[in-house]
Amino acid sequence: MNDAKKVYTPISSTESPKLHDGSLAHDATTYRQALDSLQYLSLTRPDIMFAVNKVSQNMHKLSILHWVSVKRILRYLKGTTNYGLFFNQQLSTSLNAFADVD
């Protein structure tokens, strides 16, 4: 993955995800480990949340197509390392809420 090309979207907009494409199953342990890491990362990277959710729905019937989708998310992350949410510890911890009682 070090020499992988960057992509500009975490999920393909032209290809619809299929449940099973007839290819052999990929290693389930590696797939789940990568997916666990992506789910944890989506806490600070909400831009990948939809794509991670889509690839998470196929854990019961894995194929090479699903592993390619996970690698695409990783390639997107490689090109967008400066994106994300920053939580500052010095900010006030007060909670402000607004309501429109119309």
Q: For 5-64, how does the pLDDT look when each residue is reduced to its tens digit (9 = 90+)?
A: 888 788 877 766 666 666 776 678 888 898 999 999 888 888 899 999 988 887 777 888
Q: Are 51 and 10 in contact (CB under 8 A)?
A: yes
The pLDDT value recorded for residue 98 is 77
Q: What is the mean pLDDT of residues 62-75?
A: 86
In sequence order, what are the residues at sequence separation of 6 or more whose Cβ sits closer than 8 angstroms to the Cβ of residue 53?
Answer: none
Q: Is the pTM of this model over 0.85?
A: no
Instruction: Identify the domain containing residue 46 by its residue range.
Output: 28-79
Distance of CA 45 to the CA centre of its chain: 8
5 in any annotated domain: no
The pLDDT value recorded for residue 67 is 85
51 in any annotated domain: yes
75 in any annotated domain: yes
Number of domains into which the chain is organized = 1
54 in any annotated domain: yes
The pLDDT value recorded for residue 1 is 67
Tell me the C-alpha distance between 77 and 101, whole Å: 42
21 in any annotated domain: no
